[in-house]
Amino acid sequence: MSDLDIEAQIPALRRFARSLARNVDDADELVQDTLLQALSRWRQLRKPGSVRAWLFQILFNLHRTSARSRQRDRARFVDEDGPDRPDPSGDQTQAIHLDDALMALSRLPPDQRIALQLVAVEDLTYEEVARVTEVPIGTVMSRLSRARERLRAELEGSNVTTFRRLK
């Protein structure tokens, strides 16, 4: 186990923190707090191979216990610099669909959005997500099912993009 094991997880931690905090600066602070806590509790890691899930659990617990984070969770997500977001500059239609998908994702209830991101984006197993969020695996599966169904319904209904009129 080395510092490289933790360092390799930073981009994924930043993505997850951004989805929770919905603000780049707050997300970076959350990741920094996560890394500090992980390094200070390095000896508490039970299984050397579970660094990824352990770091996500620390980050999620820090977010959950912070009253400020819960208030920020209600704010609209603004991706200021977007390094984790694909560059849609070549195809405007693709950019519109990407924005629709991101907006639909941001409107999901937090428990569904978190479960979906940890499985679909961060590639954690259902068991790891259950450990991170401290809920049974069946609950994770239910949240994923509801999140996917809600996204599917919303995106199928958003085939036509409306533009607002500027004066």
> 111 pLDDT band (50/70/90 cuts)?
very high
Give the count of beta carbons closer than 10 Å to the beta carbon of residue 34.
Answer: 25
Q: Above 50 in pLDDT, residue 71?
A: yes
Domains located in the chain, CATH noted: 1-76 (1.10.1740.10), 88-161 (1.10.10.10)
Q: Above 60 in pLDDT, residue 58?
A: yes
Q: At 103, give phi and psi (nearest 5°).
A: -65, -40
**Interacting residues of 129 by C-beta distance below 8 A, sequence separation 6+:** 115, 118, 119, 140
Cα–Cα distance, 48 to 50 (Å, whole number): 6
Give the SS3 label for residue 94.
helix
Taking the whole predicted model, whether its pTM rises above 0.85 is answered as: no
Cα–Cα distance, 94 to 59 (Å, whole number): 32
Q: Give 9-47 pLDDT, tens digit per residue.
A: 899 999 999 988 888 998 999 999 999 998 888 777 766
Kindly state the DSSP code that residue 162 receives in the 8-state scheme: P
Residue 68 has which token pair? 């400020």
Cα–Cα distance, 159 to 20 (Å, whole number): 27
Report which secondary-structure segment, H or E, holds 56: helix 51-65
Mean pLDDT value of segment 108-135: 91
Contact 20, 73 (CB under 8 A): yes
Angle at 59 between CA 114 and CA 110, to 5 degrees: 20
